[in-house]
Amino acid sequence: MSRRLCAPLLALLLVSGASANQDLAAGLKEKLDELSARAGFPGATFSILLADGRVLDVASGWADADRRQPLTPESRMPAGSVGKTFVAAAILQAVDDGVLDLDSPIGKWIGQESWFPRLPNARTLTLRLLLSHRSGVPDSDETAFMKAVTTNVDKTWTPAELIAFVLDKKPRFSAGSKYFYTDMNYIIAGAVFERAVGRPLFDEIDRRLVTPFSLSRTIPAERRDLTGVVAGHFDMKGNDYRKFGLADTSLRDGRFTYNAQAEYAGGGMISTSHDLAQWAAVLWSGRAFSAARLADMLDGRPSEKDVKYGLGAEIRASGRGPMYLHDGWIFGYTTVMLYLADERISAAIQVNSDPMPPSKLQAGDVIGSLVSYVLKEKR
């Protein structure tokens, strides 16, 4: 075929492809609107990255209903515990670098800290046990922690100050014997990373992960006033927020009403659904570190019914092969990020509210329905 004939045919194919993408995006937006209304979300953003490189970004509902400001795909929200995936990836890179290893006792790096002997299971803790939530370390006292982060809203918490919430507590079980999910595992792991690498955790996450993989709207939650962050809505019936002085939403005059920085390595990231869908593909396709470290991350052990947990990753079976995911919650926000390995499809959803009551659709239900819709409709 001559070059002269090819040009109009190529143009026609490009127009047809763009039209199909627009139709799929329009249908996806309509589906998100419908599911968000059923769930009762104030607003939601969703992004999906297909194996052929196509990206679909849609948003539904309000960033600020009173001012009639709609959510957009560029709207930033705290990602909650999805931030653990960045922490785990930075640590696994440091293992590749020979700076850390997963199975040495963590006393090798932080054993000289005066508080270290008071840490539950101190002598038997390893990074593998911490990152897989099999350490036996207990939770912080919720009331004491909530009081601290709602009264000291501008304080910059150090890892040691956060770890102090569990010092001298009894372990839940001997290290390695069971699973118990707690942010404290990652807070301790973050402290180990900082001591071994000699730089702040979030500086290294930016250098190692955010910048190289062009996650341009992803930032650490290190201040109360952050550009482009939308207000989150609290479940005032399901949570007793008022006793900590919190009202209905997470922002007042553009600033967090609680100390988001205190989440530290338990989460600690602000992002968008678009960036998180991109990150899921990078992370779980193995582009962030070596194949050996990906095998470590995805070596899941039983956690909850039909779910395994690796190192910063849930592993579930799906009708389309293995699915890797992580969800996150922080006061006023819900996030879910996933990757279908066989399909090479990644997706993320963010909702500007606490998890819905049990009678309602949850963010996990909605992202599953949206991914299924795209798989059915894409061409």
Total residues found in the chain within this entry: 379
CA distance linking residue 368 with residue 363, whole number of Å: 9
| Fold observed for domain 23-377 | Beta-lactamase (3.40.710)
Q: Which residues of the chain have pLDDT under 70?
A: 1-20, 379
pLDDT at 244: 87
Q: Tell whether the torsion through CA atoms of 298, 302, 308 and 314 is positive or negative.
A: negative
pLDDT at 161: 97
pLDDT at 19: 64
- Copy the structure tokens of residue 152: 């000291």
Segment 262-315, tens digit of pLDDT: 999 999 999 999 999 999 999 999 999 999 999 999 999 999 878 999 999 999
Segment 184-237, tens digit of pLDDT: 999 999 999 999 999 999 999 999 999 999 999 999 999 998 889 999 999 877
Q: Tell whether the torsion through CA atoms of 126, 130, 131 and 133 is positive or negative.
A: positive
One-letter amino acid of 284: W
What 3-state class would DSSP assign to 208?
Answer: helix
CA distance linking residue 293 with residue 308, whole number of Å: 17
Q: What is the DSSP string of 244-279?
A: GT--SBSEETTEESS-GGGGGGGS-EEE-HHHHHHH
For residues 187 and 120, the answer to whether their CB atoms sit within 8 Å is no
For residues 21 and 331, the answer to whether their CB atoms sit within 8 Å is no
Q: What is the DSSP string of 124-175?
A: G-BHHHHHTT-S-PPPPPHHHHHHHHHHSTT----HHHHHGGGTTPPPSSST
The continuous run of DSSP H or E covering 189 comes out as helix 183-197
Q: With 0.75 as the threshold, say if the pTM is over it.
A: yes
The continuous run of DSSP H or E covering 94 comes out as helix 83-96
Nearest 5°: phi and psi at 68? 60, 40
Quote the crossing angle between the two packed helices 83-96 and 183-197, to the nearest 10°.
40
Nearest 5°: phi and psi at 158? -90, 160
pLDDT at 277: 98
What 3-state class would DSSP assign to 311?
Answer: coil
The CA-to-CA distance between both ends of the chain, in Å, stands at: 26
pLDDT at 304: 81
Burial class, 100, CB count within 10 angstroms (exposed 0-12 / middle 13-18 / buried 19+)? buried
The CA distances from residue 32 to 28, 37, 42, 276, 327, in Å, are 6, 8, 12, 18, 18
Closest residue by Cα to residue 209 from 88, 75, 315: 88
- Copy the structure tokens of residue 65: 């209903």
Query: Side-chain half-sphere of 153: how many Cα atoms within 13 Å?
Result: 14
